[in-house]
Amino acid sequence: MQNKGKKIGVSAALAALLALALAGCAFGPKSSKDSGGMSAGGTSVQSPADQSVSAVSGSSAAGSTSTSASEAVSSASGNGSDVLVPEPVSASSADSGSAVYRTNTEVRVRTAPSTDSEIYKSLPANTVVEVAGEEDGWYQIRIDGGIYYIREDLITKTDGSPQTAAASGNGKTVVIDPGHQAQADQSKEPVGPGSSQMKAKVTGGATGKTTGLKEYELNLQISLKLQSILTERGYNVVMTRTSNDVNLSNSERAGIANDANAAAFIRVHANGSENSGVSGAMTICQTSANPYNGELYSDSHALASDVLDGIAASAQCTKQSVWETDTMSGINWCKVPATIVEVGYLSNAEEEQKLATDDYQQKIAEGIANGVDQFLSA
């Protein structure tokens, strides 16, 4: 009888505990899942897939509070209730299946999809951004409650894993501009910021007399090879164009380099002369007295010199000189070190035939890349 009584007492205790547990489920605080996404105090709780990741501040969208999947639950002393404490949204809290984009380099955010539009702010490399849509080669991104724009080639979709600038190479950005385009645009633009002097936006370029090779085609062929080499060497490479069927003015091309905060802006061209005997490579930069960006002269001249040395050594071509001039719109609009690379003369039959071959183009591209290496390692 004594043992039986002990069993009954234990059963009663278990029943009492079960009743208390059921009462807690019926009347105690609900979890965010049970309450349809409402936590204590009425704060909305989102799943990682629903979270909006801010590009700059890391805060949630205005008017709501987002929490990460691993919410910290603390017991508030004094009232005995459980309070959900949301953790700040970070880049790594984004669900790996959602669209996460990061800036490839330091970039300028624009108020409209154009390099002529106002700069809203700059974002450092490896900043997580929320993409809202696409428009004319630009991504629409959400920042500070508004919609702004970044060029598509300046941000990359990732898997959401943490990254650093070193993860994509040395963190330095090179912008390559294959000069000219299939259709010239003879409408005018200022030769530099605020200038009253006007110049054609972009011309069609030269044409080889022996092979019929178009300069705009050659420029793109060499530029694509250069892109591949620099990418393999760990640079972040931005192309102003990857097709001949574009319409980009010289100031717009410079704007792309400016928006990318390029460590070097390489503008690939080919030369021409009335003297068919002239051959070799040359480079171009501004003068120290340039009224638009004379402060960049030292860096641009060093870049031009290093690239010219690289081409001459790699292609074993005639080495001309660095031409200093303030007549080039695509340099005058730059806010980064820039050079125009004249890879050879399409007016020289022998050099033209070389330039038409993949092997010689590869040597030119490797020479330019070697010059970039030299400049950026200084």
Q: What is the pLDDT of residues 31-54, one digit of tens each?
A: 333 333 333 333 333 333 333 333
Q: Which of these, 133, 39, 51, lies nearest to 90 by C-alpha position?
A: 51
Is residue 307's pLDDT more than 90?
A: yes
Is residue 324's pLDDT more than 70?
A: yes
Query: Which ranges of 260-357 would DSSP assign to H, the alpha helix?
Result: 297-315, 329-332, 349-355
State mean pLDDT over 247-264.
96
Q: Look at 13-17, 138-142, 208-212, 306-310 and tell me which has the smallest mean pLDDT.
A: 13-17
Cα distance between residue 371 and residue 376, in whole Å: 9
Is residue 254's pLDDT more than 50?
A: yes
pLDDT (0 to 100) of residue 27: 42
Q: What is the pLDDT of residues 213-241, one digit of tens each?
A: 999 999 999 999 999 999 999 999 999 99
Q: Which of these, 174, 306, 267, 293, lies nearest to 227 by C-alpha position?
A: 174
What is the pLDDT confidence band of residue 170, given thresholds at 50, 70 and 90?
confident
* Residue 340, beta-bridge partner list: 267, 284
Domain segments of the chain: what residues?
100-158, 169-377
State mean pLDDT over 101-123.
87
Question: Which CATH number is associated with domain 169-377?
Answer: 3.40.630.40
- Above pLDDT 90, what percent of the chain? 57
What is the pLDDT confidence band of residue 145, given thresholds at 50, 70 and 90?
confident
What is the pLDDT confidence band of residue 126, given thresholds at 50, 70 and 90?
confident
Q: Look at 134-148, 164-178, 220-234, 247-261 and tell me which has the smallest mean pLDDT.
A: 164-178
What is the pLDDT confidence band of residue 154, given thresholds at 50, 70 and 90?
confident
What's the fold here for domain 100-158? Answer: SH3 type barrels. (2.30.30)
Strand, helix or coil at 144? coil
Mean pLDDT over the full length of the chain: 78
What is the pLDDT confidence band of residue 162, given thresholds at 50, 70 and 90?
very low
* CB 44 within 8 Å of CB 37: yes
Cα distance between residue 193 and residue 329, in whole Å: 9
State mean pLDDT over 239-255.
96
pLDDT (0 to 100) of residue 152: 87
C-alpha R_g of the chain: 30
pLDDT (0 to 100) of residue 363: 97
pLDDT (0 to 100) of residue 206: 95
Q: Look at 97-106, 253-262, 299-308, 329-338 and tell me which has the smallest mean pLDDT.
A: 97-106
* CB 337 within 8 Å of CB 254: no
Q: Look at 73-82, 229-238, 299-308 and tell me which has the smallest mean pLDDT.
A: 73-82
pLDDT (0 to 100) of residue 15: 52
Which amino acid is it at 317? C
CB atoms within 10 A of CB 163: 17
